Amino acid sequence: LVMPLSWVKELSAGRRWRLGRELCLVWVCFDVLCCTASIWNVTAIALDRYWSITRHLEYTLLTRRRVSNVMIALTWALSAAISLAPLFGWGETYSPEQERCQVSQEPSYTIVSTGGAFYLPLCVVLFVYWKIYKAAKFRMGGRRRNAVVPLPEAAQVKEASCEPQMVFTARHAAIAFQTDGETWREQKEKKAALMVGILIGVFVLCWIPFFITELISPLCSCNIPPVWKSIFLWLGYSNSFFNPLIYTAFNKNYNNAFKNLFVKQ
């Protein structure tokens, strides 16, 4: 619903809106709703990865399902609140004289909507990834401290006990307190951290140009060329194309789901 109408607007002469006020309101509401929900879904995935890495004992499957349901509900509730606000008089989205249909340019709405739809989740995902990086670095440091490094020369360790004649010799010893399960978990954590990093990087690159222009345009009355606004908008839309590719590359469940969806058995 959103992208086809956006494409119709782009192809019209002067990027004018000739589909009427009602369809304009529907398009703007769904545009803000879906884009905001998409951004907060990235935030929810980052939080889920963070908790699964740092609280893997407490973050059980049952807990994960409950938390996921809460995050999904909050995501759509916040997205709906931001998208529906202009319908109740917070700014105007349609100008019949200029045949213009756009998100409300009311400065107060611009600050609240861009903050709630992008800048707040951006701060959350950057903080979460910083915590994931610190946790991974701490685990790797702890792993190195728990290992006995091989000695360059033979070493003898003598222990005097109730039988003085007993001598224990350790030669070129290398002991690591690690199991196969821990190795597998560390690999899984690294893969999850890499996925979150790529997800956040693509998210920022796709959306930050659009939201910078959306924030400064109504506040400073800057005359940003419409062609650049269109490029930034479609760059933001492209984030929804990249996200499934990233999930599929790093998550077997997503991979299998997409195979079942697109490949005939």
How confident is the chain (265 residues) per 10-residue block, as mean pLDDT?
A: 87 85 92 94 89 82 91 96 90 84 90 95 91 74 51 45 46 46 65 82 94 87 83 93 86 75 65
DSSP line for 87-144: GGTSS--EETTTTEE-S---HHHHHHHHIIIIIHHHHHHHHHHHHHHHHHHHHHHHHH
Residues 6 or more apart in contact with residue 28 via CB below 8 angstroms = 83, 86, 93, 101, 102, 103, 104
161 in any annotated domain: no
Residue 187 has a pLDDT of: 73
What's the first-to-final CA gap in the chain, in angstroms?
30
Cα angle at 122 between 119 and 125, to 5 degrees?
155
- Please indicate, yes or no, if residue 57 is contained in any of the structural domains: yes
Please check whether residue 9 is in contact with residue 101, taking contact to mean a CB–CB distance below 8 angstroms. yes
111's tokens? 């600050």
What values do phi and psi take at 175, rounded to 5? -120, 130
Asked if residue 177 is part of any domain, the answer here is: yes
What per-residue confidence (pLDDT) applies to 70? 96
* Residue 61 within any structural domain of the chain: yes
Query: Does residue 156 lie within any of the structural domains?
Result: no
Give pLDDT, residue 80: 96
| Contact between 79 and 29 (Cβ < 8 Å) | no
Question: Residue 204 sits in a domain of what CATH number?
Answer: 1.20.1070.10
Task: Kindly state whether residue 154 falls inside one of the protein's structural domains.
Answer: no
pTM (2 decimals)?
0.76
Contacts of 91 (CB under 8 A, 6+ apart): 104, 105, 106, 109
**Full domain range(s) for residue 54:** 2-149+172-262
Q: Is residue 50 part of a domain?
A: yes
User: Given CA atoms 28, 29, 32, 33 in this order, what sign does their dihedral have?
Assistant: negative
> How many structural domains compose the chain?
1
pLDDT of residue 203: 92
Contact 246, 202 (CB under 8 A): yes
| SS3 assignment, position 164 | coil
> What's residue 231's pLDDT?
93
With beta carbons less than 8 A apart as the criterion, state whether 72 and 44 touch.
yes
Backbone angles phi, psi at 162, to 5 degrees: -65, -15
Q: Is residue 164 part of a domain?
A: no
